[in-house]
Structure formats: structure tokens, C-alpha cells
A = this chain, B = another copy of it.
Amino acid sequence: MGNFGLRDALDGRWAHVRQAAREQLAGSRFVAVPGESLDRSRERISRLLRELPIDPGIAAGFPIAYGGSADPGGSAVAAEMLAQLDLSLMVKAGVQWGLFGGAVVALGTAKHHDAYLRDIISADLLGCFAMTETGHGSDVQQLRTTCTYDPETGTFDLHTPHEAARKDYIGNAARDGRMAVVFAQLITGGRGYGVHAWLVPIRDDEGRPLPGVTLGDDGPKAGLLGVDNGRISFDHVSVPREMLLDRYGQVAPDGTYSSPIEDDSRRFFTMLGTLVRGRVVVGGAASAATKNALTIAVRYGEVRRQFAAPGERREIALNDYLAHQRTLLTALATTYALSFAQEELVSTLHEIQTADRPVDEHRQRELESRAAGLKAAQTWHATRTIQACREALGGAGYLAENRLAGLKADTDVFTTFEGDNTVLLQLVAKGLLTGYRDTFGSLDGWGRATFVAEQVREMVLERTAARSLIQRLIDAVPGRGEQVALTDRGWHLAMFEDRERHLLDGVIRRLRAGASRKPARSFDIFNDVQDHVLSVASAHVDRVVLEAFVAGIARTTDPDARDLLSKMCDLYALTTIEAHKGWYLEHQRLTPPRSKAVTGMVNDLLKQLRPRLVDLVDAFAIPDEWLACAVLREEPERQEAMAAHDLLPMPEPASSAR
């Protein structure tokens, strides 16, 4: 087809990483195996993990001194590529190099790096990221595991006080992990200093649990069978003082605590902030898997035919049905949009994590907020879209051999892992309410959030990408309302921005009114407007995504690609406006006739884009073998056989009624 322009636009800044993956991981060797048992899957994934290339690869994020290439952006993009092969493999690699290794790099100091990083990168030392507990997932600041320093022995006592405090859902815990980065409440001198992390051995060389360590298996899951998630409890396990990952907090031999960040909560969220890549990677992986699903569904819909049109001998291709386009093409437009937003997010991550000096806190908070919002948007979009793709294949979509069942099952956990999506959207909203100032509540929830109501200030919406271009487009919108073309980009941008701003203003007003009324429980002030707050976050994410799409088009030089992207951007913008037309009409941002015209224009765009539908998925450039979908290989032949057969003089079914 030769849509290299489109493909280049999507491949973006780390095109070389994507291309290297397509070559180094070519064939079906690293591709998910349908219908595999738990044991075989774990065995295969553990084996393949050690065969993955380091560079480019997820391990590319490590410092050059230890064998990495200090390329956090490349590492995130490499994870996306693995997600197109096998999500178990991607998550296993993410646990090992992203979460476990990443925590050692970010929270540890030179002694830890020198001692462990090489073995971590080579996968000779497999490890866990033991943060979540059975009782605390979203509110990790309240973890119940304790790690208490005793100056007499010079060691910490790591302890799980009750079952709710056991570590749970921990990758590498059930089978492979030899060490774990364990998060627990640091206690010294009879005082708690909040959550810190220790590097703790959990298994001996033969894989037996070490004394005091109890290891459990989370057993079969909805998907990701190749990842050995499990549980870890500690019964007064002695941990040497040096094993505290002490970049942000040190304990002297005598038990004196010191830290460059005085405030416990601020310190904790600073530590968490260094681990933001995990969330970036999960969002990107969700979108990558969505691309596999859409490629399968679109290619199938192109060859699969059902129901003959009157007067026509051949049946209609599924892709020719408006309802099918309404499902697949609109999801594809959103996938494109999210792709550009993810690219921008990865770039920001890369800039911040490779900066020569520490970036200002505002930028760091903004990155965390964006990572949270895009993770939620991309994972929910994946869940919805993969489901739609599976339905678009009918019964074939339900068979494991056609891949969608696995994509669906594997990505399902993403909506709640690395942060529950609803909690993440609250985090985004809180960032907006406080302008990213003083919000050390990255994983913070509703309960204690009323303080925000007193802190809210007038918001200045901050542009994310291509600031001046976007302002120019908005300024160029000729007047308001009916006259403006429905495909005017400035109008789209203004509509998105208006929705975000107005929703935000409304929440601020309602929070202030609530605070002044003083209800029985201060919790109610926030809870009463929770739905409104979540819609602010979602409107914000929509705007961030549209702006990234606009910036991405501006970077594209190939005229055909630019034109196609521009139409896809129209489709994304208008389906988003259509989805929220209730709000726009309520607030008189759309008149009823114009609202109806939006729907008409969406259908019109579907017609315009229909002939390029296959090109649009081809541009994802996913190797055929990575799709691993049996029906894609078989269906064209079947359709040919059927068409050939129909040409034989077979008795016609009696057809008076047709």
C-alpha cells in the first residue's frame, strides 16, 4: 500500500525502537500461545524473558554505566512493542526491569546499583515490586507492613501484622522472584516516617522461601497466565540496615532518621513520582494491544461478507455496513488520537528523566497527572474496543485461536492496575483544582481531600503541545456557532477547552458552596460532587489528547498522511463532541440543529474514510505473525471457495419471497 507517511507519523520519535523490535522479534517465537495452561505459560514466559534483547528493549532505561542505554523513552516504547507480541511477556519484563529494577535505580543509591543492577538487567536476578497489600491497593500511603529499626542489632525488623497487610498480586512472587523491593512503614526511634522501600531476599538459590518469608500463589487469573502473581508475608524478618533503598531517607546506625525532604507525605509522593514510568507503560501497552485488535477486526471485516444486497450476487463486506464503521472506525480514530498523546507523554517522561538537573516540581506533577489520565483513558478505551472487535468477529472472535480472547483477557487488568482508573481520574482532577500546587496526594482519594476545597484557585488551563499553533487555530475561529465549519480545527479545540473550563469552574463553585454549608461529614463535601469531578478529569484528558493529535499532524509532512490524519482528527473530535452533546446542549454550546449536524458529519466522515480503512490499520505496521489470528489466514480462501461454488449451476433456492 505504501502508507509509509502514515506509518512514520505513528512510529514517531522512537521509530528506530519500533523498527528494531519488528526485526529482532520477528516471527512467531515471542507471540502469545492461545489456550496454554498456567504452568506452561509461566514456564515459557520465564524462558523468553531471558531471550529478549536488551537494546532496544525495556531494559534500555537503565544507566549506561550498568549496561543500559539511559533511554527511558525507548524503554517505554519497547514495552509497547512487546505488548503486541504477548502481554504476559510484556508485564513480566515490566515487573523485572520497570518496577523491580526501576525501583532499585530510582530509590536506591550507588551501593545498591553496584551490587545488583547488572544481574537485574541480565535477568540473572529476578525480583518483585512488593507494594500493594491485600488491604491497601489504591491508598498505598496507608500500607500496614512495618519495618522497624533496632539500633542494637543494626537491622530492620520487617513484619506483616495481619493478613490484610500481606503483599498481594505481586508479579514474580509466586515462582521466579529471588528478591523483592518491599514497601513498608519505616519506624525508628518509636516514630513512623511513612512508607519506604527495602531490598529483601525472599527465596534461596533453589527457589525455597527464606526463613520468615511466606510465599503464596494468586493462582489462575482472568488473563496474563504467564505472570506468576503471588503473595508475600513477613514474620519478623531481619533486614540489614544497608538494604533500605535510601535515596530519599536514611537511617544512621544509631537509628537517627534523615531525609532531603522533611515532610513525610511530600517525601512519599516524591518517591512514588520517580516510578511514574510504570503507569506510562501500562497506558501505552493498552493502546498497543488495541491496535492488534483493530487490525484483526478491520482486516476480517474487509473479507468477511454477510447478507446479499438486493440485485447483487456477492454478499456485503462487513466493513461496508455503517454500524460496523460506527464501531471500528470511530474506535480507530480515538486510537490514533491516543497514540499521539502517548507519544507526547513518553517524550515528556524522557525529557524529565534525562534532564541534567532536577526538573521543577510543577513539571513533574504535570507529568504524573498526564500519565494518570492517559493511563485511564487508554486502558478503558482498550477494554471497550477489544470487546467491540471480538464482537465484530462473531463466534470466531470467541475462539482462542483468533487472538482477541487473549487480548481481552490480558488487558483487562490494566483498568485497575498501576492505579484504579477512577482513583487516577480523581488525581487528575485534584491537580487541576490546585494547579498542580501542593498536591502531594498522587494516590490520594476522596476521604481526606476536602482540604482541596479550601485551596482551589482560579484555573489557568495549560496547553500541552504546540501551544502557539493551537492558540492560533482557536483565535482564527470565525465568530461563534452555526457559521463555523464542523471540521474547523479551531472550533474543535475551543469546544474541548470550553467544556473543561466550564466543568472545572462548576466544581470549584460547588465545592466552595459545600464547604460553606458545613455538612455533617466533611467527606460529603467532596463525595457529593464526585461525578462532576470525574467529568472534569475526563474533559481534561480529552483536551490533552486532541492537542497532541493536532501537534502530531503539524509534524507530519507527507501530504497524503497529513490529509488522512486530519480527517481522523475530525472524526475523533466530532465523535467526542457527539458523545457529550448532552452537555453541550445543556450549556447551550450547541444548538439542536448543529448538534444533529455533528452526527451527520460523523457519518459523512465515515464514508470518506471507508476506502482507506485498511490502510489506516496497515499503518500500525504490526507483522502478520504478531497478529496470530487463524481466521485472518483462512477466511479469504473460504470466501473464494464460496464465490467459485456459487458460480456452479446449483439449484437456486426457491425465491418467490426474496
**Chain A interface (Cβ within 8 Å of chain B)?**
34-35, 37-38, 132, 134-139, 141-142, 144, 146, 161-165, 168-169, 185, 187, 190-194, 218-223, 263-266, 306-312, 315-316, 320-323, 326, 383, 387, 390-391, 394-395, 397-401, 404-405, 408-409, 412-413, 415-417, 420-422, 440, 444-448, 450-451, 521-523, 527-531, 534, 578, 581-582, 585-588, 592, 595-596, 599, 603, 634, 637-639, 641-642, 645, 650-658
Q: Are A522 and B399 in contact (CB under 8 A)?
A: no
Q: Are A218 and B264 in contact (CB under 8 A)?
A: no
Which residue of chain B has the shortest Cβ distance to A189 in the bound complex?
A: B651
Shortest Cβ distance from A114 into chain B, in angstroms? 31
Q: Are A138 and B323 in contact (CB under 8 A)?
A: no
Q: Which of B222, B528, B634 contacts A405 (CB 8 A)?
A: B222
Q: Which residues of B contact A440 (CB under 8 A)?
A: 657
Shortest Cβ distance from A194 into chain B, in angstroms? 5
Q: Are B264 and A309 in contact (CB under 8 A)?
A: no
Q: Which of B137, B223, B306, B395 contacts A168 (CB 8 A)?
A: B395
Q: Which of B265, B307, B645, B654 contacts A144 (CB 8 A)?
A: B645
Q: Are B220 and A142 in contact (CB under 8 A)?
A: no
Q: Which residues of B contact A142 (CB under 8 A)?
A: 308, 315
Q: Which residues of B contact A582 (CB under 8 A)?
A: 578, 581-582, 585, 595
A232 to B27, CA, bound (A): 32
Q: Are A164 and B638 in contact (CB under 8 A)?
A: yes
Q: Which of B185, B448, B653 contacts A307 (CB 8 A)?
A: B448
Q: Which residues of B contact A38 (CB under 8 A)?
A: 35
Q: Which residues of B contact A588 (CB under 8 A)?
A: 592
Q: Which residues of B contact A141 (CB under 8 A)?
A: 653
Q: A306 and B586 in contact (CB under 8 A), knowing A144-B645, A321-B446, A395-B169?
A: no
Shortest Cβ distance from A649 into chain B, in angstroms? 10
Shortest Cβ distance from A499 into chain B, in angstroms? 14
Q: Which of B137, B310, B586 contacts A448 (CB 8 A)?
A: B310
A397 to B413, CA, bound (A): 9
Q: Are B592 and A448 in contact (CB under 8 A)?
A: no
Q: Which residues of B contact A639 (CB under 8 A)?
A: 135, 164
A/B interface sample: 11 pairs, CB < 8 A: A34-B220, A193-B654, A223-B398, A310-B451, A310-B522, A311-B522, A316-B447, A323-B531, A395-B413, A585-B595, A586-B595
Q: Which residues of B contact A658 (CB under 8 A)?
A: 265, 448
Q: A162 and B323 in contact (CB under 8 A), knowing A222-B398, A265-B655, A654-B191?
A: no
Q: A134 and B310 in contact (CB under 8 A), knowing A193-B654, A322-B530?
A: no
A416 to B397, CA, bound (A): 9
A326 to B534, CA, bound (A): 12
Q: Are A531 and B308 in contact (CB under 8 A)?
A: no
Q: Are A222 and B651 in contact (CB under 8 A)?
A: no
Q: Which residues of B contact A523 (CB under 8 A)?
A: 309-310, 312, 316, 320
Q: Are A534 and B657 in contact (CB under 8 A)?
A: no
Q: Are A534 and B413 in contact (CB under 8 A)?
A: no
A555 to B445, CA, bound (A): 44
Q: Which residues of B contact A391 (CB under 8 A)?
A: 415-416, 420-421
Which residue of chain B has the shortest Cβ distance to A168 in the bound complex?
A: B395
Which residue of chain B has the shortest Cβ distance to A443 in the bound complex?
A: B307
Q: Are B34 and A447 in contact (CB under 8 A)?
A: no
Q: Which residues of B contact A320 (CB under 8 A)?
A: 523, 527
Q: A312 and B447 in contact (CB under 8 A), knowing A264-B653, A387-B383?
A: yes
Q: Which residues of B contact A450 (CB under 8 A)?
A: 310
A352 to B415, CA, bound (A): 45
Shortest Cβ distance from A593 into chain B, in angstroms? 8
Which residue of chain B has the shortest Cβ distance to A654 in the bound complex?
A: B264
Which residue of chain B has the shortest Cβ distance to A607 in the bound complex?
A: B528
Q: Which residues of B contact A634 (CB under 8 A)?
A: 163
Which residue of chain B has the shortest Cβ distance to A602 in the bound complex?
A: B531
Shortest Cβ distance from A213 into chain B, in angstroms? 20
Q: Which residues of B contact A417 (CB under 8 A)?
A: 395, 398
Which residue of chain B has the shortest Cβ distance to A406 in the bound complex?
A: B222
Which residue of chain B has the shortest Cβ distance to A638 in the bound complex?
A: B164
Q: Are A221 and B596 in contact (CB under 8 A)?
A: no
Shortest Cβ distance from A271 into chain B, in angstroms? 14
Which residue of chain B has the shortest Cβ distance to A642 in the bound complex?
A: B164
Q: Which residues of B contact A168 (CB under 8 A)?
A: 395
Shortest Cβ distance from A170 into chain B, in angstroms? 10
A399 to B222, CA, bound (A): 6
Q: Are B137 and A306 in contact (CB under 8 A)?
A: yes
> Given A35-B220, A144-B645, list of 19 further CB < 8 A pairs?
A135-B638, A142-B315, A162-B638, A221-B398, A221-B399, A222-B390, A223-B398, A306-B445, A310-B450, A316-B446, A321-B527, A322-B528, A390-B412, A391-B420, A528-B603, A581-B585, A582-B582, A586-B592, A586-B595
